[in-house]
């Protein structure tokens, strides 16, 4: 289970995406926790998240999100442009799952 912060410009888009992610996670039987946030959250110390997902329309803030994530031992993930539908949530979940599998695998071999 991962705790995931979903970052967008003002927080509205991330809220829509978080709702879709929660629904699709439930359908898939995945037990991740998702929280919406605006880019202003990146100016505060992050706590209790494993992954920071950055929406495509704020890709310019990815480096800032990555630095914030690294500072707490988390990982940043740049999302492609996607809709806030089940299909878009599935794309984001697939990326998240591949990221968490890679992180787990590299942790087991290190």
> What domains sit in the chain, N to C, each tagged with a CATH number?
3-105 (3.40.50.2300)
Task: Inform me whether the pLDDT recorded for 1 exceeds 90.
Answer: no
pTM: 0.87
Q: What is the pLDDT of residues 8-57, one digit of tens each?
A: 988 888 999 999 999 999 999 998 999 999 999 988 888 889 999 999 99
Q: What is the pLDDT of residues 64-101, one digit of tens each?
A: 999 999 999 999 999 999 888 889 999 999 999 988 67
Strand-strand pairing, 51-54 and 3-8: parallel
Place of tokens 């967008």: 8
Instruction: Give the tokens for residue 40.
Output: 């202003």
Instruction: Give the tokens for residue 4.
Output: 């995931």
The pLDDT assigned to 90 comes to 93
């Amino acid at each position: 289970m991962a705790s995931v912060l979903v970052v967008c410009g003002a927080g509205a888009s991330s809220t829509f995406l978080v709702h879709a992610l929660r629904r699709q996670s439930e359908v898939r039987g995945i037990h991740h926790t998702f929280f919406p946030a605006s880019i202003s959250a990146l100016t505060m110390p992050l706590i209790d998240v494993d992954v920071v997902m950055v929406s495509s329309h704020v890709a310019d803030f990815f480096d800032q999100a990555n630095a914030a994530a690294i500072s707490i031992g988390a990982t940043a993930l740049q999302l492609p442009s996607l809709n806030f539908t089940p299909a878009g949530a599935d794309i984001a979940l697939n990326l998240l799952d591949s990221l968490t599998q890679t992180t787990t695998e590299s942790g087991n071999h290190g």
